[in-house]
Amino acid sequence: MAPSMEEEAPSKSRVTVVGSGNWGSVAAKLIASNTLTLPSFHDEVRMWVFEETLPSGEKLTDVINRTNENVKYLPGIKLGKNVIADPDLENAGRSMFLCFYGTDANMLVFVTPHQFMEGICKRLVGKIKGDVEAISLIKGMEVKMEGPCMISTLISQQLGLNCCVLMGANIANEIAVEKFSEATVGYRESREIAEKWVQLFSTPYFIVTAVQDVEGVELCGTLKNVVAIAAGFVDGLEMGNNTKAAIMRIGLREMKAFSKMLFSSVKDSTFFESCGVADLITTCLGGRNRKVADAFARNGGKRSFDELEAEMLQGQKLQGVSTAREVYEVLSHRGWLELFPLFATVHEICVGRLPPSAIVEHSERIPKLSLVEKST
């Protein structure tokens, strides 16, 4: 049942949100508030939902479409009546990609847990046609020995799409209740496309800025979790705000140096954006990485991260601990361990090779990083 396209103005964009967790639901809400007023977008925002049966016996998509709330992942918040939940990725794909190519542009917002992305890309391969743009809101790509496996790159390569990223100090529940916040869009070439994403996400309480630095923006979203582990150790050791600020600053410096050594295109200025310093602050003040690392240090490293995670996070895993291991492998593989004492020490503490207090005891190694800054 193809809609009558001829009745609509040409070159309107249609937005689909792939993912419907806590952050995905908030993203759908932000976008849906804008598509209603922006003439260059269709009102309807389709949200792909990984279908679940609720304890009541109802399907999650049915409840979302009936109540206009994601009762499981964002209860109490109206998403906007123009958000339509769709349980079938390929159906959603078919309706979007097949019906509208030719006249309309499609904009795909990826906001799933990162481990699902490879499977989702496989299911979408060959089904995307026409003028389609993508953006990834997914934090925490993997850092493999040969370099980071960027989610934006995965999407670009697997689906043949240009892919921007949106990162920042974005605690979903705070944005859901419209508390003031910011975000950064990273784009590769087209400033015009970036501005379109900025338009789609911006609200008076959610300020979005675009920078031409996909890798820098995306790496910030991952590496900050390693620094949050370090900040948690400082909290657990009760070392005070001076030390915590110093560790956060050194962490930001290592984030910058590491990103620039991996991608020469990465810009210093990106780290002043919301994705950089602001997200780092948020993550080091609150956040589960900081919290579990705090508990780890208070226990003198005697209880493992696995044990504390199981007890404190109800089955969620800490990204910071696995990212620290992945970063350590890159540093070790490339002979950079000495240049990144904070990153290296976080991993060594996590695996029990060093005590939590090493996070500052190894500080005398820190000035060596000035070598990196000169070389980058």
* Residue stretches of the annotated binding site: 19-24, 50, 116, 139, 172, 288-289, 317, 319
Annotated binding site for substrate: 139, 288-289
Instruction: Fill in the amino acid letter for 186.
Output: G
Q: What minimum distance in Å lies between the beta carbon of 103 and a second copy?
A: 32
The pair phi, psi for residue 106, each rounded to 5°, is -115, 145
Task: Tell me which residues touch a second copy (CB under 8 A).
Answer: 169-171, 174-175, 179-182, 204-205, 207, 209, 239-250, 252-253, 256, 268-269, 271-274, 277-279, 281-282, 285-286, 360, 363-364, 366-367, 370
Residue type, 292: V
Smallest distance from the beta carbon of 374 to a second copy, in angstroms? 12
- Cβ proximity to a second copy, 261 vs 278, nearer residue: 278
C-alpha triplet 197, 192, 134: angle, nearest 5°: 45
Kindly report the number of other CB atoms within 10 A of residue 255's CB atom.
27
Nearer to a second copy, 53 or 180 (CB): 180
Nearer to a second copy, 94 or 249 (CB): 249
Which is closer to a second copy, CB of 246 or CB of 351? 246
Degrees (nearest 5) of the Cα angle 272, 276, 176?
Answer: 115
Give me the phi and psi of 267, to 5 degrees please: -105, 140
Q: What is the CA radius of gyration of the chain?
A: 21
224 is catalytic: yes
- Closest CB 223 distance from a second copy, rounded Å: 15
Q: How far is the CB of 167 from a second copy (least distance, A)?
A: 13
150 in Cβ contact with 137 (< 8 Å): no
Where is the binding site for NAD(+), in residues? 19-24, 50, 116, 172, 288, 317, 319
In Å, how far from its chain's centre is CA 173? 15
Catalytic residue among 12, 29, 196, 224: 224
Catalytic residues: 224
